[in-house]
Amino acid sequence: MSMPRPTDFQIPREHLVQFLDDGPDRMGRRQFAGYWIDHDGVRGQVWHTDPITWTTRTEREGGTVRILEETR
């Protein structure tokens, strides 16, 4: 996936997730790209962690998470 455009985000503080792997490992971790908007525009980072934990932390900090369609 290419970097999302600001217009791809539907609501303020939304984070977009695109999975990059074929499924979780034995510890429930997934590799995914997380995207968000800040004062510099769209930002992104690749993560290798449990997506439930990542989503919970993002929501606790006031954000929302939307999973983009998997391409694999």
pLDDT digits (tens, 9 = 90+) for 22-48: 999 999 999 999 999 999 999 999 999
Q: Taking 70 as the threshold, does the pLDDT of residue 71 lie above it?
A: no
Say how far apart CA 30 and CA 60 lie, in whole Å.
20
Say how far apart CA 72 and CA 57 lie, in whole Å.
26
CA separation, residue 47 to residues 7, 10, 11, 53, 56 (Å) = 23, 22, 22, 12, 15
What confidence score (pLDDT) does residue 2 get? 83
What is the per-residue pLDDT across 46-59, written as a single tens digit (0 to 9) for each?
999 999 999 999 99
What confidence score (pLDDT) does residue 70 get? 61
